[in-house]
């Protein structure tokens, strides 16, 4: 059965489609679920998935992805506020802020929440990397400033990014659970 990925972000959809190819079709749905105020990406995603599944009707499962970039030297900023910071100050200026620090380590984290008529499950993925001056044309969001193993995520193909990224790891946990459940 098709999975409805509730997001306005086409980059997330591209990555999920690539990862879930051959398992289930992924359909993008734009539905403005309530993003509750919380420090926990898991709570935000689970709440959103439950609401979307209930409000959208039909028994097709839904997937919600709540992600954030956590900069070590900035106390985890922008974290759950990453979308807001990207829209306001932008990626380039976040890099400028981080470049003033000796410690340029950062983590990307995502929580996928899957909801169907039996309930909600969440899957988490994290990747640690280093912030650098922007490089690369691929990916989306903060990818040009996030380096892993010498390459920014914007320099990777979707497949390469999925192999190491927070989202790829969360998708791997999802697929493991999903395949077990179907068996
Ligand atoms: P939704 O409609 O799914 O909420 P969004 O882009 O608003 O889409 P989030 O609320 O999860 O997504 O915000 C996360 C922020 O982090 C946002 O600025 C994204 O562009 C960025 N982001 C998320 N995943 C990323 C990734 O894999 N690489 C780079 N930036 C990412
Ligand atoms: Na969002």
Classify residue 145 by its DSSP letter. G
Is the separation of the CB atoms in 27 and 5 below 8 Å? yes
What is the distance in A from the centroid of ligand 2 to the CA of 83?
6
Q: What is the mean pLDDT of the chain?
A: 96
Its ipTM equals: 0.98
Question: Which is the catalytic residue, given 32, 59, 65, 66?
Answer: 66
Q: pLDDT tens for residues 68-127?
A: 999 999 999 999 999 999 999 999 999 999 999 999 999 999 999 999 999 999 999 999
Q: Which residues contact 147 (CB under 8 A, 6 or more apart)?
A: 129, 130, 131, 132, 135, 153
In this structure, which CATH number among 3.90.950.10, 3.40.605.10, 1.10.1370.30, 2.160.10.10 belongs to the domain 3-182? 3.90.950.10
Q: Which residues contact 6 (CB under 8 A, 6 or more apart)?
A: 29, 30, 31, 33, 48, 49, 52, 56, 62, 63, 64
Reduce the DSSP state of residue 43 to 3 states and report it: helix
Q: Is 83 in the pocket of ligand 1 (CB under 6 A)?
A: yes
Domain coordinates in residue numbering, the chain: 3-182
The span from the CA of 168 to the CA of 38, in Å, is 24
Pocket of ligand 1, candidates 4, 5, 9: which has the most ligand atoms within 8 Å of its Cβ, to mutate?
Answer: 9
Question: 140 is written with which tokens?
Answer: 């989306």
């Amino acid at each position: 059965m098709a999975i409805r990925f509730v997001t306005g972000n086409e980059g997330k959809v591209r990555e999920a489609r690539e990862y879930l190819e051959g398992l289930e079709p992924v359909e993008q749905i734009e539905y403005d679920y309530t993003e509750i105020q919380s420090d926990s990406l898991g709570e935000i995603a689970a709440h959103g998935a439950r609401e979307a599944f209930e409000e959208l009707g039909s028994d097709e499962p839904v997937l919600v992805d709540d992600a954030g970039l956590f900069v070590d030297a900035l106390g985890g900023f922008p974290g759950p506020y990453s979308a807001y910071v990207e829209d306001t100050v932008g990626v380039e200026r976040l890099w400028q802020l981080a470049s003033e620090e000796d410690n340029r380590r950062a983590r990307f984290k995502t929580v996928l929440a899957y909801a169907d008529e039996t309930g909600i499950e969440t899957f988490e993925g994290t990747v640690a990397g280093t912030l650098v001056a922007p490089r690369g044309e691929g990916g989306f969001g903060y990818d040009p400033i996030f380096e892993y193993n010498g390459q920014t995520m914007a320099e990777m193909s979707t497949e390469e990014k999925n192999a190491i990224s927070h989202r790829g790891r969360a998708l791997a946990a999802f697929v493991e659970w999903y395949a077990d459940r179907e068996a």
